[in-house]
Amino acid sequence: MPLQYARANPGKLGVMRPGFGCLSITACSFVVSVCTTILIARLLTPGAFGIYLFVLWLATAAVPAIGVGMLTVTSRHIAEIQSQQEPHLAAGIFHFVWRRQYRSILLYCLIYILLAWPFSKLFGASTPVLFLLLAGLSALPQLLSGVASITLRSLHRFDLLAAIRLFGTVTTLLLVALATQVQGNLIGILLLIPATAATIPLAIAMMCILRLLPVREAAAPGAMLKDRLTRGLNNSLLLFTMDVIVWQRSEMLLLTHSHSTADLGFYALSSIISTRVIDIAPTLLSTCLLPLLLRYVPGQRYTSASDAFVKTSRYVALLAIPLCIGAIIFCPSIIALCFGTVYLPVVMPLRILLVAAAFGSVATVSLTHLANGERKQAQIKLGIYAASLNILLAVPCIALWGVTGAAFACAVAQIVSAIGSIFICKRLIFG
């Protein structure tokens, strides 16, 4: 299952606190991010857009595995520990995680610089060395922003965190708009924008943390607390690798060898859209519908873990299935309107991936229940099966049908992974 979609406990404690302002900011951030993607796609040809997305994917795909607290499950665990401490000790935890993240950045820089030249040789015209290095810069503020986000969540400043994220997305959109007026290599300029746009919100977040926590009088965490933090910060590399193969458009590695950069752009765009569709239903449920139900409909409160699992899965399905069906029907008109008719080849792979997106949305509930480490061996076995299936299908399907074949292989693997996660969770809860 996609690790980055793991949600908080679907019960009362895991629901984002309702508030029209916070929900409005989150919605605005989503809309601005979509507008930025549309603008970049219209500025570039499909071939240039494929190079842009592929280079960014290579630069950031492994960041969650290296970074501290970059996975939602990990960051939530650290935020919960930090929120239970006194301010001086919470500031000490911030120092501890921040230092760990600096080591992760040094490790990332070393590995990435060593691999940049081999990647450029391996993938040819799709990955010029200069573009790889420029794209790698975006990972640095992203790693540090993860630590700031954990601390703000531990302080329950969800409104402030949402506002900072909105500021970052608006900054990105403005910089992309300004890039249209600059003469030079447009791809290189656009690759610089994520790093620039992420640095400003990071600085704002750090100033807020310095005001909210007594950072200068921080108390270092004790040995037992450090052990809890360290265990929480350790990610399963094998599980993450399987997740990347199944859910993170790894099929582009095969497409770049045998197909044009335009095909890369079409497939990457269809994958980005389906990924965002996966996230809509769980986010809408956890930030809007569940808070309202828990507040105004007392009979909807969960009585047990099994009741929470069944009801939340049902709610997500009722949201995700109509959404995906509507997207499948109207995606030709939406693509033509937003991206232009030149991107209409996106329609067929997108429709295939949207089928898997419905299963993926429902399965996020199961991943939430499995987030504490129960049945990890079963999850690893499922990940190996799904990843192996993706690889076995992708090679012949891409050779025969290109972008459509890549979408088919990916969708089958994602459906298997999603259904398997639901069954693993069901066995865990119902015995």
Q: How would residue 21 be classed by pLDDT, with cut points 50, 70 and 90?
A: low
- Here the tokens at position 270 are 């269809």
Residue 308 has pLDDT above 60, yes or no: yes
Tell me the domain boundaries of the chain. Answer: 3-430
Contact between residue 186 and residue 44 where contact means Cβ atoms under 8 Å apart: yes
- Here the tokens at position 90 are 């919470």
Question: So what's the pLDDT on residue 191?
Answer: 94
Sign of CA dihedral 191, 115, 100, 249: positive
Question: So what's the pLDDT on residue 300?
Answer: 60
Integer angstrom CA distances of residue 56 from 62, 80, 132, 389: 11, 31, 8, 26
- Mean pLDDT across 230-234: 71
Integer angstrom CA distances of residue 273 from 137, 269, 367: 24, 6, 21
Integer angstrom CA distances of residue 47 from 64, 257, 373: 28, 14, 42
How does pLDDT run across 234-259, given as a tens digit for each residue?
Answer: 666 788 888 889 998 899 999 998 88
- Here the tokens at position 186 are 């447009």
Question: So what's the pLDDT on residue 102?
Answer: 85
Q: How would residue 16 be classed by pLDDT, with cut points 50, 70 and 90?
A: very low
Q: How would residue 8 be classed by pLDDT, with cut points 50, 70 and 90?
A: very low
Residue 10 has pLDDT above 50, yes or no: no
- Mean pLDDT across 223-244: 79
At residue 29's C-alpha, the angle toward residues 309 and 152, to 5°, is 70
Question: So what's the pLDDT on residue 376?
Answer: 78
Q: How would residue 99 be classed by pLDDT, with cut points 50, 70 and 90?
A: confident
Q: How would residue 2 be classed by pLDDT, with cut points 50, 70 and 90?
A: low
- Mean pLDDT across 376-389: 90
Which residue is associated with the tokens 């994520």?
194
- Mean pLDDT across 352-370: 90
Residue 389 has pLDDT above 90, yes or no: yes
Residue 303 has pLDDT above 80, yes or no: no
- Mean pLDDT across 143-152: 89
Whole-number mean pLDDT of the chain? 86
At residue 74's C-alpha, the angle toward residues 366 and 316, to 5°, is 25
- Mean pLDDT across 3-14: 40
Lowest-confidence segment of 107-111, 221-225, 299-303 by average pLDDT = 299-303
- Here the tokens at position 385 are 């099966």
Residue 288 has pLDDT above 90, yes or no: no
- Mean pLDDT across 44-62: 93
Contact between residue 33 and residue 169 where contact means Cβ atoms under 8 Å apart: yes
Residue 354 has pLDDT above 90, yes or no: yes
Say whether 7 sits in a helix, a strand or coil. Answer: coil
How far, in Å, CA of 352 to CA of 138, rounded?
30
Question: So what's the pLDDT on residue 236?
Answer: 67
- Mean pLDDT across 404-423: 95
Question: So what's the pLDDT on residue 14?
Answer: 37
Residue 89 has pLDDT above 60, yes or no: yes
Which residue is associated with the tokens 């089928």?
355
